[in-house]
Amino acid sequence: MNHLCAPDPLCSRVPHAREHEHGFLHSVETGAAVDGPGMRFVYFLNGCMFRCLYCHNPDTWKIGGGRAITLDEAVAEIAPYARFLKRAGGVTVSGGEPMIQAGFVGALFRELKVRFRLHTALDTQGFLHAAVDDDWFDPVDLVMLDIKQIDPAKHKALTGRDVLPSLDCARRLARLGKPMWIRYVLVPGHTDDPKDVAALADFLKDEIGPWVERVEILPLHHLGAFKWKELGLPYALDGVPTPSPEIIAETRAIFAARGILAI
Ligand code: SF4
């Protein structure tokens, strides 16, 4: 049986009634090329307990915000594309943080597998993984696990939350034999210290091993800054430069030196 939510003060605000039948959807994207293998249909769900300084979707943060949607309605959104997606890619559930709606998302993954046999990917920072049982991950083919920073203090400063649950999630997924793409946002002054990158690469090599298929280095961009302003939130990264090609190459090389594909 799936637990519905983590014992988290923010998460306790999630409406639990009939959670398996209803979710809270921010938006969908029908032809995404950067959210998993091939062409993806992406569900962006509402709700996140992190506050990443670089978040380009702060409009997804509100727990219980967005459009209330039934499981059948969510499945109907993808149905016209399912035949194409089966050949060309698959479906990704992202956010926000989709595991904040674990009951609904687990049911959605199971439904998409049964009805369409699509390749499925979950984009998560893993913070709430302990709230679900192992079999919750059965219909998930790939986990795109966002590890924001391995240094605990810097992670907390960057996201407002602890890093340990994300690392434990990676360990657990390795134990379950679940393929992972690790996503790492490269932010000058926050995540680009070679010592931190090397510590993350060592962790992946030594503890996670072959279940990490690749690391995606995502250079900071400011395309979401206007959303912070629209929401009346201070955007702390104003003026922070985007990483240079040299820093990006050096970061990739740290992973490559440990036999980890970094793109
Ligand atoms: S985990 Fe994702 S959605 Fe949540 S604050 Fe960070 S970048 Fe934004």
Question: Ligand 1 in contact with 51 (CB < 6 A)?
Answer: yes
Ligand 1 site-directed mutation target among 159, 183, 187, 221, most atoms within 8 Å of CB? 159
Q: State the pLDDT confidence band at 20, using cuts at 50, 70 and 90.
A: low
pLDDT score, position 7: 38
Nearest CA to ligand 1 atom 7: 55
Cβ proximity of 189 and 240 under 8 Å: yes
Question: Ligand 1 in contact with 53 (CB < 6 A)?
Answer: no
Q: What is the pLDDT of residues 27-50, one digit of tens each?
A: 999 987 889 999 999 999 999 999
Question: Ligand 1 in contact with 57 (CB < 6 A)?
Answer: yes
Domains of the chain: 11-256 (3.20.20.70)
Q: What is the pLDDT of residues 88-114, one digit of tens each?
A: 999 999 999 999 999 999 999 999 999
pLDDT score, position 21: 75
Burial class (CB in 10 A: 0-12, 13-18, 19+), 72: exposed
Is residue 50 within a helix (H) or strand (E), and if so which, with residue range?
A: none
Average pLDDT taken over every residue of the chain: 92
Question: Ligand 1 in contact with 30 (CB < 6 A)?
Answer: no
Residue type, 167: L
Alpha helices in the chain (DSSP H): 71-78, 82-88, 102-116, 152-159, 164-176, 194-203, 225-230, 245-256
Percent of the chain, pLDDT > 90? 89
Ligand 1 site-directed mutation target among 53, 125, 184, most atoms within 8 Å of CB? 125
The pTM of the full predicted model, rounded to 2 decimals, is 0.91
